[in-house]
């Protein structure tokens, strides 16, 4: 569904640009003079482009799908979906900033860090977050 042109043009691309701007804000807090052009994040020291698939949207949608599909009260599902969205969003900004600094300081590790380390961490984070939600908020509490 995300690959459909209208969805990509009206939702995915603006969302990806939003992720680039959030990452720029974080980098500027660290003293980088980062700017955003479209979905490219750059400073005098390095530049990255955030492509669809690297914006965290798939992890968010998979997490929310798991929350919605799990039997739980709708109020808990809504709280889980919003909290999960925010947590994965923050995690993904940390990912982008980390990859930026990997490119600055150890560019030879950028590809490995991007493909193997961070893709795995995003998946593990999303699954762990969902398991936490299931355990703490979705399952009924045992009677005491």
How many percent of the chain have pLDDT more than 70? 95
Query: Closest Cα to residue 61, out of 136, 132, 11, 113?
Result: 11
SS3 48: strand
Per-residue pLDDT tens digits for 35-61 = 999 999 999 999 999 998 889 999 999
Task: Tell me if 84 sits within 8 A of 133, measured CB to CB.
Answer: yes
Dihedral of alpha carbons 86, 92, 95, 101, sign: negative
Task: Tell me if 55 sits within 8 A of 15, measured CB to CB.
Answer: yes
Q: In whole angstroms, what is the distance from residue 34 CA to residue 23 CA?
A: 9
Helix (H) or strand (E) holding 68: helix 57-69
Task: Tell me if 138 sits within 8 A of 76, measured CB to CB.
Answer: yes
Is the pLDDT assigned to residue 16 strictly greater than 70? yes
Q: In whole angstroms, what is the distance from residue 25 CA to residue 66 CA?
A: 31
Per-residue pLDDT tens digits for 63-90 = 999 999 998 999 999 999 999 999 999 9
Q: What is the model's pLDDT at position 136?
A: 86
Q: What is the model's pLDDT at position 29?
A: 97
Q: In whole angstroms, what is the distance from residue 15 CA to residue 11 CA?
A: 6
Region 20-40: what's the mean pLDDT? 96
């Amino acid at each position: 569904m995300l690959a459909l042109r209208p969805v990509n043009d009206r939702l995915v691309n603006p969302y990806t640009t939003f992720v680039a701007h959030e990452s720029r804000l974080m980098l500027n807090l660290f003293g980088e003079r980062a700017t955003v052009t479209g979905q490219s994040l750059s400073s005098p020291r390095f530049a990255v482009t955030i492509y669809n698939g690297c914006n965290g949207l798939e992890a968010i949608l998979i997490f929310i799908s798991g929350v919605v599909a799990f039997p739980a009260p709708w109020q808990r599902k809504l709280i889980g979906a919003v909290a999960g969205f925010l947590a994965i969003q923050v995690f993904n900004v940390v990912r982008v900033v980390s990859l930026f600094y990997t490119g600055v300081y150890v560019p030879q590790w950028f590809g490995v860090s991007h493909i193997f380390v961070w893709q795995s961490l995003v998946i593990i984070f999303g699954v762990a977050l969902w398991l936490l939600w299931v355990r703490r908020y979705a399952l009924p509490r045992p009677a005491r």
